[in-house]
């Protein structure tokens, strides 16, 4: 029998239905391939195995025929392919379990493949957002929050700005990152500059 862990979500990526005055402006998830390269150091890992293969080849070529030296070096390259596939699968699972949501009031992040959590970050609690744009158009938007709220780096990983402490939540490796960043900035500016209207004493008495 099939089972969907997120079937209880009234709106995908959100723990509850948004209020009537809240509008979803954008939803998305990380690019699996971009996440593989940025968060899992794909090219560094591949380079490590290529180095091992070349080192094994150079060390063996002086003591055995070239064909045999190549043969004992190839397993390192095969191992690189296997590890590379595992890294991509890991990133794909993380990407499929993630939903980023930008509304006119907040940024919501449903993250975690094994331990799923949802962060709700109102614009009034976000002091800045930094965009790290890649050549392929994907990028990461890291958020700096106000107040004393602390986030656990390992719990949020890879949805954090790399190697920054305290941890900064991030919309990691999203497609069309520049457009999303502009949309988020406009929504945040509109929300923060919106006047807060509080009822006067007379209005409160009348309401009672």
Interior CA angle at 104 toward 99 and 106, to 5°? 55
- Cα first-last separation, the chain: 54
Query: What is the pTM for the complete model shown?
Result: 0.83
Both tokens of 191, joined, read 């929300």
User: pLDDT digit string (tens) for 83-92?
Assistant: 999 999 999 9
User: pLDDT digit string (tens) for 174-197?
Assistant: 999 999 999 999 999 888 776 555
CA-to-CA distance for 162 and 172, rounded, in angstroms?
10
What is the pLDDT averaged over residues 43-51?
Answer: 96
Domains in the chain, ordered, with CATH? 24-30+100-191 (2.30.29), 35-94 (no CATH)
């Amino acid at each position: 029998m099939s089972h969907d862990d997120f079937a209880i979500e009234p709106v995908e990526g959100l723990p509850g239905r948004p209020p009537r005055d809240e509008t979803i402006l954008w939803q998305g998830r990380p690019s699996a391939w971009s996440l593989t390269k940025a968060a899992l150091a794909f090219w560094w890992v591949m380079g490590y195995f290529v180095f091992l293969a070349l080192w094994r080849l150079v060390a063996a070529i002086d003591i055995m025929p070239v064909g045999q030296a190549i043969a004992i070096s190839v397993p390192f390259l095969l191992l690189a392919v296997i590890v590379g596939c595992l890294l991509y699968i890991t990133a794909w699972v993380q990407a499929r379990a993630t939903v980023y949501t930008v509304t006119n009031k907040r940024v919501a992040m449903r993250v975690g493949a094994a331990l799923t959590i949802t962060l709700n970050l109102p614009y009034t609690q976000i002091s800045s957002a930094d965009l790290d744009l890649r050549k392929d158009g994907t990028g990461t938007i890291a958020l700096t929050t106000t107040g004393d709220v602390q986030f656990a780096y390992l719990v949020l990983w890879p949805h954090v700005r790399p190697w920054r402490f305290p941890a900064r939540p991030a919309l990691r490796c999203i497609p069309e990152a520049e457009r999303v960043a502009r949309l988020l900035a406009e929504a945040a500016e509109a929300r923060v500059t919106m006047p807060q209207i509080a009822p006067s004493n007379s209005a409160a008495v009348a309401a009672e």
